[in-house]
Structure 1
Amino acid sequence: MAVKLTDVEQKAGVSVTTVSRVINNHGYLSDKTKHKVFAAMKELNYQPNSLARSLQGKKMKLIGLIFPEITNLFLRS
């Protein structure tokens, strides 16, 4: 089973937001906090999911259509 951010959070004793900020190097974080999170990540062998990261913030420009039946000639062509 893959290690999740919540597992790292519990091991380091910080919030999920803090773990995310450490991973993304975003905002001010004390060296002590960074050390705790990195130590937990190493101990749990946490690897960020590259597929999840690639999907983050992406918008898909698709529209789904559902038709109850296709007996109408207009819809079949």
Structure 2
Amino acid sequence: MVAKLTDVAELAGVSPTTVSRVINNKGYLSEKTKQKVHEAMKTLGYKPNNLARGLQGKSPQLIGLIFPNISN
């Protein structure tokens, strides 16, 4: 089973928001907290899903085109 952010938070004894702040390096966090989160991530084998993170929040600036026949 793939580890989730909430699993990391539970193991580290912090909130999911704190785990997110450690991953994104945002805001002030003590070194002790960062270390606890990184250790929990390593223990669980947690890796942030960059595809999911890219889809979250802003809508992508992509347009898809389908051409039925390109010979003409």
TM-score, structure 1 length as denominator?
0.74
Root-mean-square deviation (CA, aligned residues, Å) is 1.4
Offset at 1:56?
1.6
- The percent identity for this pair of structures is 69
Gaps of 5+ in 1: 62-77
Runs of 4 or more above 3 Å deviation: none
For residues 48 and 21 of structure 1, the distance between their equivalents in structure 2, rounded to whole angstroms, comes to: 12
Q: Secondary structure at the match of 2:2?
A: coil
Gaps of 5+ in 2: 62-72
Q: CA 1:22–1:60 in 2, change beyond 3 Å: closer, same or farther?
A: closer
Offset at 1:40?
0.2
1:57-68 alignment, distance < 5 Å: 57-59=57-59
For residues 33 and 17 of structure 2, the distance between their equivalents in structure 1, rounded to whole angstroms, comes to: 12
The higher radius of gyration belongs to 1
Q: Counterpart of 1:37?
A: 37
For residues 36 and 60 of structure 1, the distance between their equivalents in structure 2, rounded to whole angstroms, comes to: 34
Q: Counterpart of 1:72?
A: none
Amino acid at match of 2:45: N
Amino acid at match of 1:48: P
Aligned length: 61
Q: Does residue 30 of structure 2 align to residue 9 of structure 1? A: no
Q: CA 1:60–1:17 in 2, change beyond 3 Å: closer, same or farther?
A: same
